[in-house]
Amino acid sequence: MLHSPYEMLAEVINKKPIIVLAVIIGVVVAALYGMTFVSMETGSDTYLDKDTERGMLLDKYTETFQSDSIMLLVESDDVLNPDVLAYMDRLQGDVATQRYISGVTSIVDLFRQINGGQLPSSYADIKSAKEHVPPEVLNRYVPSNLMTIAVITLDPGLSQESQMTVVDNLESIISLSNPPPGVNVVVSGNPAFQKQMMDEMGVSMGTLILAAMILMVIAVGLLFSHVRYRFLSVAIVAAGLILTFGIMGYANLQINMVAIGAFPVLIGIGIDYAIQFHARFDEEARRSPLPQAVKTTITKSGPSILYAMLSTSMGFLAMLISPVPMIGGFGVVCMIGVVCCYLMALVAVPTMGLLLKYKPKVNDSSDPGKPAGKQKIEVYTDFLGRLAEKVARNAVPILIICALVAFIGFQTDGEIPINTDEETFVPSDMPAVINLKKVSRTMGSTSSLPIFVRGDNVLSADTIQWMHQFQEYEESHNSMITGSTSIADYLAQYNGGILPASDHEIGTVLEQIPTETRERYLGGPSEAVIEFSTVDMESEVALSMVENIKQDLAWNQPPPGVSASITGMTEMFADLIEKIAEGKIRMTITAFGLIFLFLLLVYRRLGKAATPVIPIMMIVGWNGLIMYILGIDYTPLTAVLGSMTIGVASEYTILIMERVYEERSHGQDLIPAIRHGVQQIGTAITVSGMTTVFGFAALMLSSFNIVSNFGVVTVITVAFSLVGAIVVMPSILFLVGRFEHPEHG
């Protein structure tokens, strides 16, 4: 006779529990080793899928033209002191020889040019040289006597890993450079920002996981005290988390800013599985020998908790359709995590129970030390039963009120701003952010919007003329644009201020332009770039500007055979607004569809499959309203809230429905079945929900604003999920029950 996998697992655990424990330990040790391969990911790869047309265009532009810059902020009481300038000169010489660096520019270079190639060595020479530097250039490099900025240009198309190496090398050079007394040198710029963000992500993730585990210990200690070895669940979740990290390491899956938020979520959800298995094992151990308790726990709870886990996974699975890679990464991490936590709880709880010769606690009401806790549970259980009955008897008005609030939430959801400004996601006191703001204040905006021009011959006279005209038009008609540069500007500059009129003239003038300058704006005869410099602006304004330029390109097209496309980081973050807006709606609808199809497959009854989904729809609407009221923006992380809510809330609504249908199958009328069903399962769901809240609450402690805001709304979401299961679900079950069995009630 064929046995189910659960029966086979129970048989193995009962016969060879020590071997099973050894296998668990071996798997955890292997996962610990796999954790060493886990790495952090930042940059454009986390926001844009490189396999899409836009992603490939940005990749090509980055490889061909984009040169990231690193700024050295040199601070002193007097940065124009001869000793400070001499130090900067030495430092620049050391920096310029480093790999991946194509050039270094500072006030030192300007002074050398003005002073006949020699660095001024006295205050008088420095003052004389300073008078010959144009004021706007001087202010750019020396905003005050207290600070000057050196700009390091990196090779185009440099990978993030190589940029991190450059930053590390620069910090090492500076530490060994022996600056004059009172001189401080700081590395700034986007590569330094990305590196520090990566380091901060690692620290934040460790802090969040530790906080979540501590909160879990507190929650389990308070809410799960009626069972023996109550903290076993925490250890199991920790093992499940290690297993998750190990799989990610072996699979070479990187952790991004959004994925950090997945781990407290996993702890909150994973503890639920461990508690449910532990509670069922404790229940079975009270009425049967341990081997039978092992078998019953695995064969009965295993499949039902599997269904709950799979329904939760449907919400995370829906995230894979998001066009934003970091959101898909969040879904992948969560799916791996819930499966690992489920498997660890399924195997570890009965194995440890058998090896520890588990004996349930005796809850004797005659014991003066015991009754208070039990009475509190009974009071709460009775309250849930009375509440469920009142709700059922007033189902229609309660559902109308709940649906109305949800409808308002769906309406206000569209009014919630979408934030894609990376600097607002990280700690506001992070040194790299402060230094970047210093650079922006002194050197002006470092933002740019490139137009990637491609064709058989971008150096034709018609194309060069079009580039020049398009630049002039945008500069005069777009208030966000502060200037522009292209190969057309240099062709005019090296031709006496006039654009060459023929292809032959263009070829002649092109040879006069320095190679470094030419390659900055020209990638051979088939690729060129127009760089528009822009003011600093919010993402919504940037999106509007990008749309306006797209319209301008549509009616003012380049010559036949040539295409022009907007690309670059400004365009990517602006487009991210639309991607998040579209993606969150698609993810939510997909999650609803997946869970409904899953339930339809399990129950094979349309009404029963739809019943648990209705409260979830209301909860998603409530989420939108609470975000609007609290003023919390949509970000790449809060964008997952809809689909995640569907996954988390479905477990509670399914468990309520299952228990009520079970009571109905025993012959009870509708109202008593709802009352008794909610009484039996409601307390367990509340305990489970509160432990999940404790796990999610750890997110609120994150120094990353994007994560802490997500923590606030997820805690509220779990509370809404409990309300949806305990209040909305009985109302729906009553109406559905009256429709299915009108003679009962």
Q: Work out the widest C-alpha separation in the chain, in whole angstroms.
A: 105
Cα dihedral 552, 555, 556, 560, rounded to 10, equals 140
Q: What is the mean pLDDT of residues 411-437?
A: 79
Same domain, 513 and 566: yes
pLDDT tens digit sequence for 659-696: 888 788 878 888 888 888 888 777 778 877 887 888 78
pLDDT tens digit sequence for 111-165: 888 888 888 888 888 888 888 887 777 877 888 888 888 888 888 777 777 888 8
pLDDT tens digit sequence for 462-481: 999 999 999 999 988 888 88
Q: pTM of the predicted model, to two decimals?
A: 0.75
- Residue 192 parent element (H or E): helix 190-223
Task: Return the amino acid letter for 300.
Answer: K
Same domain, 477 and 528: yes
Same domain, 360 and 227: yes
- Residue 745 within any structural domain of the chain: no
Same domain, 241 and 383: yes
Same domain, 439 and 564: yes
Same domain, 617 and 696: yes
Same domain, 363 and 457: no
Q: How far apart are CA 672 and CA 392, in angstroms?
A: 10
Is 253 within 8 Å of 333 (Cβ atoms)?
A: yes
Same domain, 344 and 435: no
In order, the DSSP letters of 400-457 are HHHHHHHHHHHHHHTTS-B---HHHHS-TT-HHHHHHHHHHHHH----EEEEEEEES-
- Residue 12 within any structural domain of the chain: yes
For position 142, what pLDDT does the model report?
Answer: 84
In order, the DSSP letters of 357-375 are T--PPP--TTSTTSHHHHH
Range of the domain at 82: 69-188
CB atoms within 10 A of CB 510: 17
Q: How far apart are CA 564 and CA 555, in angstroms?
A: 12
Q: How far apart are CA 180 and CA 347, in angstroms?
A: 64
- Residue 516 within any structural domain of the chain: yes
Boundary (domain end) residue, out of 574, 605, 635: 574
- Angle, alpha carbons 178-181-183 (nearest 5°): 80
Nearest C-alpha neighbor of 265 from the set 704, 647, 725, 583: 647
Task: Lay out the sheet containing 448-455: strands in order across.
Answer: 481-485, 527-534, 448-455, 562-566
pLDDT tens digit sequence for 2-40: 478 999 999 999 999 999 999 999 999 999 999 989 887
How many domains are contained in the chain? 3
User: Rounded to an integer, what is the distance from CA 515 to the centroid of its chain?
Assistant: 41
Q: How confident is the model at residue 293 (pLDDT cuts 50, 70, 90)?
A: very high
Residues in the chain: 745
Same domain, 441 and 392: no
pLDDT tens digit sequence for 306-359: 888 888 888 899 989 888 888 888 889 999 999 999 999 999 999 999 999 988
Is 573 within 8 Å of 537 (Cβ atoms)?
A: no
- Residue 57 within any structural domain of the chain: no
Q: How far apart are CA 467 and CA 471, in angstroms?
A: 6
Boundary (domain end) residue, out of 148, 166, 188: 188
pLDDT at position 427 over 80? no
Same domain, 134 and 174: yes
Cα distances (Å, whole numbers) of residue 371 to 378, 384, 683: 10, 20, 17
Is 212 within 8 Å of 268 (Cβ atoms)?
A: yes
Same domain, 166 and 245: no
Nearest C-alpha neighbor of 642 from the set 326, 404, 373, 322: 322
Cα distances (Å, whole numbers) of residue 182 to 77, 85, 357: 7, 13, 68
For position 443, what pLDDT does the model report?
Answer: 54
Place of tokens 């620290």: 203
pLDDT tens digit sequence for 221-277: 877 777 888 889 889 999 999 999 999 999 988 887 777 778 888 888 888 888 888
Helix locations, 224-256, DSSP H: 232-250
CATH of the domain at 208: 1.20.1640.10
For position 366, what pLDDT does the model report?
Answer: 41
Same domain, 708 and 723: yes
Task: Return the amino acid letter for 557.
Answer: Q
Q: How confident is the model at residue 441 (pLDDT cuts 50, 70, 90)?
A: low
